[in-house]
Amino acid sequence: MSIIIQAPELEKTIASLFSAVGSTPEEARQVAANLVLANLCGHDSHGVGMAPRYVDAVLEKNLTPNAHVQTRVDTGTLLGLDGQNGFGQNVGVQAMQMAFERVRAHGSCIMSLSNAHHLGRIGHYAEMAVENHWISIHFVSVNSRPIVAPFGGGDGRFGTNPCCIGIPVGVGKDTREPFILDFATSRVAQGKMRVAHNEGRSVEPGTLIDENGQPTNNPGVVVVPQSNGKMGALMPFGQYKGFGLAVACELLGGALSGGGTWHKEADGRRAVLNSMLTIVIDPKRLGTENSFGQETTEFLDWLRKSPNAPGTEGVTLAGEPERKKRADRLKNGVPIDDATWQEIVNTARLVGVSI
């Protein structure tokens, strides 16, 4: 069962939780709007269901409201930033805006951000860049608990390390909808297992192993401790290739930024820290704006003309499912499953907010 809430009302409700634990009205609104946007895009795993976890992290003093990014290194096109354990939806936007200043001045920027609390849907940051007709590439590490098993391994050793590539399509008046590839390197996002567990659904074979390293389709193994006190693990996507990309995200997002990698047992903390390596490129400054715009259009049109595979609706390009879902949920409201809503209500009670 689920309830349906219109996005503006949901945003206000969720913002009130963050205000209650010390965020300024602007930060509370910004974080809530980002979470609601994830729900609108169909990524409920990264939507308002994360709010109780964020509130717990503030109460545990592992997430600092109203933080500002600190600059460690600034050579113009190279920016080394620290997110100071602030809300990712706030310090992540600050960091992108700083990178954008460098792109305007120099045509590109390599920006690393360490110690941001959960950045949410990484596509959000790529969309910010693509609005300016810039390319944006992101490698992200997740410092939270070891939830994904290495290919060939039998227990969780690292996080769901997302990777994202945003590419503007077309040029000038012929600008099209962008290509936004944005995914967890685990076969599915961990939050989707929380949603499946809350909804009492089982998941596809090959997604999970249990606490003993055996294949299972019960999402609960990565949501609640099992009988021996241990947790199961998600598998990486794409066998050893996805595993390789997950390791690259850990090394580029975590090690290179100074945020660090995960190499210890779970410690039970509710905080989720992200570190992110971002590369932003202005195709105009590379001198290929027109041909790039034309080629991106022609290539994607070429792909769309492929005949439908049996039983499918044909070719979909990255970014399209989210835009479609957003249009639908803006019109018809956002469904929130009962268990997620109950967690939000419990959190509201905890921080003295009536909803």
Closer CB to ligand NAD, residue 102 or residue 337?
A: 337
Using rule CB under 6 A, residue 59 touches ligand NAD: no
Using rule CB under 6 A, residue 192 touches ligand NAD: yes
Among 22, 154, 287, 321, binds ligand NAD (CB under 6 A): 321
Distance CA 60, CA 149 (A): 28
Three-state secondary-structure class, residue 289: helix
Among 118, 133, 197, 329, binds ligand NAD (CB under 6 A): 118
Nearest approach in angstroms of CB 285 to ligand NAD is 26
Using rule CB under 6 A, residue 181 touches ligand NAD: yes
Closer CB to ligand NAD, residue 280 or residue 348?
A: 280
Terminal alpha carbon distance of the chain: 19
Segment lying near ligand NAD (by CB under 6 A), choices 73-81, 107-115, 182-190, 338-346? 182-190
CA distances to 99, 158, 162, 244 from 240, rounded to whole Å, are 33, 15, 16, 6
**Amino acid code (one letter) for 25:** P
Among 86, 162, 220, 242, binds ligand NAD (CB under 6 A): 162
Distance CA 34, CA 101 (A): 22
**Amino acid code (one letter) for 214:** Q
Selection from 143, 146, 162 nearest residue 154 by Cα: 146
Using rule CB under 6 A, residue 184 touches ligand NAD: yes
Q: Identify the bridge partners of residue 70 per DSSP, sorted by sequence position.
A: 82
Among 180, 208, 235, 249, binds ligand NAD (CB under 6 A): 180
CA torsion sign, 36 to 276 to 60 to 156?
A: positive
Closer CB to ligand NAD, residue 252 or residue 348?
A: 252
> Do the bridges between strand 176-183 and strand 163-169 make them parallel or antiparallel, or are there none, so unpaired?
antiparallel
Selection from 7, 57, 61, 2 nearest residue 32 by Cα: 7
Nearest approach in angstroms of CB 4 to ligand NAD is 21
Using rule CB under 6 A, residue 129 touches ligand NAD: no
Distance CA 276, CA 261 (A): 12
Give the helix/strand (H/E) hosting 135. strand 135-143
Using rule CB under 6 A, residue 52 touches ligand NAD: no
Nearest approach in angstroms of CB 237 to ligand NAD is 8
Nearest approach in angstroms of CB 105 to ligand NAD is 28
Interface ranges with ligand NAD (CB under 6 A): 43, 45-46, 118-123, 142, 160, 162, 164, 180-184, 188-189, 192, 274, 316, 318-319, 321-322
